[in-house]
């Protein structure tokens, strides 16, 4: 490997985490994000260096446009999806810079057009100015400003009204998981908001709710049914984790499969429970089970 090739690889490697995060926030899929970033690497490696004036802008533009291509086909797949669709759980590394995107906000982004989603993420989340956004998505800066503004209005409701410190959120999450394992319905009732929602994504591969479950009483009955089911064993907790910005757990279920559970907490009570059971969306977490074993 000569010096220029080494510099090229080093430059890309240093920016891979940011490119990966942009792609994941655009697509909601760890696997698809990895594919996009790998494709971007191939294009970067084969690019004419003399024509690339701003290498970082080239990489962001390449990743963004590849994501827009993927999103065109993704909408059809998600319309045909069995049960509630949730993004693949991204376990936030301890040293990862917080980009303020939580799982509820990612679900809100799903309701945007691909261009609105790109403009909002690149400007509001990844701090690019509108000239840079325009270059990335191939629209005029004024149009990008309008796209981001529309997106901002649509996702505003997904942000917590009464945000709490992370350590307090972890305390509430710990209380929830302890009460759910022991079947303490009284404690669970104290922790759940009146309008709590339960989402379960099995993708047709594992049992899960067909539709979201709304309301405290219905969610409590569902949680109670889990613990009263014949042959039910409390799952093994493999890791306490922050999952897409929310406190959660990675568990090994009685059927030997992984599961993630993330809790949205607002105003001191749990407003949503997100359970991922689809094995196709959990493969990237297999190392957690291996480490625990």
Please name the residues in contact with 96: beta carbons below 8 A apart, sequence gap of 6 or more.
Answer: 17, 21
Mean pLDDT of all residues in 171-199:
95
Point out the least confidently predicted range of 133-137, 156-160, 210-214, 247-251: 156-160
Residue 93 in this model has a pLDDT that exceeds 50: yes
Residue 232 in this model has a pLDDT that exceeds 70: no
204: region left, alpha or beta (phi > 0 left; psi from -120 to 50 alpha): left
Q: In terms of Cα–Cα distance, which of 206, 166, 180 is closest to 261?
A: 180
Residue 158 in this model has a pLDDT that exceeds 70: yes
The pLDDT value recorded for residue 160 is 74
| Cβ burial 193-228 (10 Å sphere, 16+ → b, else e) | beebbbbbbbbeebebbeeebeebeebbeebeeeee
Percent helix, strand, coil in the chain, to 5, is 55, 15, 30
The pLDDT value recorded for residue 2 is 38
> Residue by residue, what is the 3-state secondary structure of 88-105?
CCCECCCCCCCCCCCHHH
| Residues facing 252 on adjacent strands | 236, 258
Whether the Cβ atoms of residue 36 and residue 66 lie closer than 8 Å to each other: yes
CA distance 22 to 123: 11
Give the confidence band of 96 by pLDDT, cuts at 50, 70, 90: low
Residue of 140 and 160 predicted with greater confidence: 140
The pLDDT value recorded for residue 176 is 97
**Dihedral angle sign, alpha carbons of residues 42, 44, 45, 47:** positive
Output DSSP code: residue 158. G
H or E element that contains 196: strand 192-201
CA distance 53 to 35: 25
Write the pLDDT tens digit of every residue in 45-79: 877 766 777 888 999 999 999 999 999 877 667 77
Residue 82 in this model has a pLDDT that exceeds 90: no
Residues of the chain with CATH 1.10.10.10: 103-159
Tell me what the pLDDT averaged over the chain comes to: 88
The pLDDT value recorded for residue 72 is 82
Give the confidence band of 38 by pLDDT, cuts at 50, 70, 90: very high
**In terms of CATH architecture, what is 103-159?**
Orthogonal Bundle (1.10)
CATH class as words, domain 1-80: mainly alpha
CA distance 210 to 201: 8
Give the confidence band of 1 by pLDDT, cuts at 50, 70, 90: very low
The pLDDT value recorded for residue 290 is 65
Q: In terms of Cα–Cα distance, which of 239, 258, 282, 242 is closest to 88?
A: 282
Q: Please provide the DSSP assignment of 114-131 as one string.
A: HHHHHHHIIIIIT---HH
Residues of the chain with CATH 1.10.1740: 1-80
Write the pLDDT tens digit of every residue in 42-51: 998 877 766 7
Model pTM score: 0.88
Kindly list the distances between the CA atom of residue 6 and the CA atoms of 1, 3, 56, 114, 283, in Å, as whole numbers in the listed order.
6, 5, 16, 35, 32
Mean pLDDT of all residues in 161-177:
90
Place of tokens 């297999």: 286
Residues of the chain with CATH 3.10.450.50: 166-292
CATH class as words, domain 166-292: alpha beta
Whether the Cβ atoms of residue 111 and residue 154 lie closer than 8 Å to each other: yes
Can you list the alpha helix ranges (DSSP code H) found in 47-113? Answer: 55-79, 103-109
């Amino acid at each position: 490997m000569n010096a220029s090739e080494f510099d090229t690889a080093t430059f890309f490697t240093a920016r891979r985490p940011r490119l990966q995060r942009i792609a994941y926030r655009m697509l909601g899929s760890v696997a698809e994000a990895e594919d996009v970033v790998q494709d971007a690497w191939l294009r970067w490696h084969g690019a004419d260096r003399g024509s690339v004036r701003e290498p970082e802008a080239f990489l962001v533009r390449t990743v963004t446009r590849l994501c827009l291509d993927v999103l065109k086909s993704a909408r059809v797949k998600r319309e045909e999806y069995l049960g509630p669709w949730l993004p693949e759980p991204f376990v936030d590394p301890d040293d990862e810079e917080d980009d303020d995107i939580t799982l509820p906000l990612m679900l809100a982004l799903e309701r945007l057009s691909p261009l609105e989603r790109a403009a909002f993420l690149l400007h509001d989340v990844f701090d690019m100015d509108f000239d840079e956004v325009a270059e990335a998505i191939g629209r005029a800066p004024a149009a990008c400003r309008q796209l981001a503004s529309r997106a901002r209005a649509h996702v505003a409701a997904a942000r917590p009204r009464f945000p709490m410190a992370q350590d307090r959120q972890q305390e509430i999450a710990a209380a929830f998981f302890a009460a759910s394992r022991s079947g303490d319905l009284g404690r669970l009732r104290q922790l759940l908001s009146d309008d709590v929602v339960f989402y379960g994504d099995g993708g047709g591969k594992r049992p899960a709710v067909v539709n979201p479950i709304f309301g405290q009483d219905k969610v409590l009955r569902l949680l109670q049914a889990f613990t009263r089911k014949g042959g039910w064993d409390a799952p093994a907790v493999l890791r306490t984790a922050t999952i897409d910005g929310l406190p959660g757990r990675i568990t090994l279920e009685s059927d030997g499969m992984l599961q993630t559970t993330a809790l949205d907490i607002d105003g001191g009570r749990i407003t949503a429970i997100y359970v991922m059971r689809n094995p196709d969306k959990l493969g990237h977490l297999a190392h957690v089970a291996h480490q625990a074993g």
